[in-house]
Amino acid sequence: MAFTSMVSTVPVLFFFFTLLLISANSSSLSHNIKVQEQDKDPFVGFNIGTDVSNLLSPTELVKFLQAQKVNHVRLYDADPELLKALAKTKVRVIISVPNNQLLAIGSSNSTAASWIGRNVVAYYPETLITAISVGDEVLTTVPSSAPLLLPAIESLYNALVASNLHTQIKVSTPHAASIMLDTFPPSQAYFNQTWHSIMVPLLQFLSKTGSPLMMNLYPYYVYMQNKGVVPLDNCLFEPLTPSKEMVDPNTLLHYTNVLDAMVDAAYVSMKNLNVSDVAVLVTESGWPSKGDSKEPYATIDNADTYNSNLIKHVFDRTGTPLHPEMTSSVYIYELFNEDLRAPPVSEASWGLFYGNSTPVYLLHVSGSGTSWKLHFPGKQEGRK
């Protein structure tokens, strides 16, 4: 993810709070969302970045994932050694096309076919590749490459079809939240019209192929840009009194957390472009555990609270106010601190672990209604 652009491009969410108890019918709109066969149940996965010093070797990393019972990961590339190490495990993996490869793949079907042969066919099905994320926040970080985005996606998909893998492996692209405007109330959200020429055919492709809309959603940045307007508890999934719940005045739906509002804003934005059968997959969400003086809310306690409550929220399967029948799966950003990233301090402080597998902090996920949890060996750091 391009964090340097994230701070400046995350949309300002103007939340409206009502002090009145509104008795509302919170029934969701009934949409026929297509669900991938291999992941019918919502899950929590983890992003694995590469800007890490002393990162575990691929073999050690896979053993670590298995020890932690991590079954879903997203890579920012298609590292051959790691994909080889993941063979014959139960770990499902999203591989990625970096932004700097879009030009070659989007301009040449043969290059796309070669990429699929080299990075997918060579490992699947021994390595459980479930999806390909093409680029990362392309529209907002490298807009000059935007015209190549859909051609690259379609070329990769056609190569999957040629290998008869198109039903097992989905193709999509992660977007920043800032491609949406007027995101609260969610009922008024819409995609930035600047990108309609790309978003309309992209959503049609996702609908046709049963692929998800990938979104990188960060309540942390919402809070940083709206301090004094958005209470911290709303961003951290903390229990709220009715007076602090966010109420959409158009639907009268009550929102108890910011992430649900962002997900519903994505569903409404798609509906405004006549697409109502594409599921939202949250490819990134998280909270930094450390920051400089300008980021006082980047703390271990807040990171622990956000990620622990996020995991509980996913496994509670309560969906969103607009779609209680649909719970989005989430990839937490991220598994390891990327200590090689440039300042500010928070850039290097999103991980649950240091690169040597020592825990940064301990998640609290008991009572989440699932037996899944992370097991943290060794001495816990960062908390008294």
CA proximity to 281, closest of 48, 120, 69, 45: 45
pLDDT tens digits for range 63-118: 999 999 999 999 999 999 999 999 999 999 999 999 999 999 999 999 999 999 99
Give the pLDDT band (50/70/90) at residue 243: confident
284 catalytic, yes or no? yes
Q: List, for residues 115-138, the tens digit of each pLDDT value.
A: 999 999 999 999 999 999 999 999
Whether the predicted pLDDT of 20 surpasses 60: no
Largest CA distance in the chain: 61
Cα separation of 263 and 281, whole Å?
9
Q: Which listed residue (245, 284, 334, 347) is catalytic? A: 284
Q: Can you give the pLDDT at residue 177? A: 98
pLDDT of residue 133: 98
Domain boundaries, the chain: 3-19+42-348
pLDDT computed for residue 383 by the predictor: 26
CB 298 within 8 A of CB 221: no
Whether pLDDT at 33 is above 90: no
pTM of the predicted protein model: 0.88
Q: Is 325 a catalytic residue?
A: no
What integer is the mean pLDDT of 342-351? 95
CA distance 176 to 157: 22
Average pLDDT over every residue of 202-213 = 98
pLDDT computed for residue 1 by the predictor: 53
**Residues 209-232: pLDDT tens digits?**
999 999 999 999 999 998 778 999
Whole-angstrom Cα distance, residue 187 to residue 261? 9
Dihedral, 218, 220, 224, 230 alpha carbons, nearest 10: 90
pLDDT at res. 365: 79
Question: Of 37, 60, 126, 137, which is the active-site residue?
Answer: 137
Q: To the nearest 10°, the Cα dihedral for 340, 341, 344, 345?
A: -40
Looking at every residue in the chain, the average pLDDT score rounds to 87
Residue-wise pLDDT tens digits, 147-168: 999 999 999 999 999 999 999 9
The answer, yes or no, to whether residue 40 has pLDDT greater than 90, is no
CATH topology of domain 3-19+42-348: TIM Barrel (3.20.20)
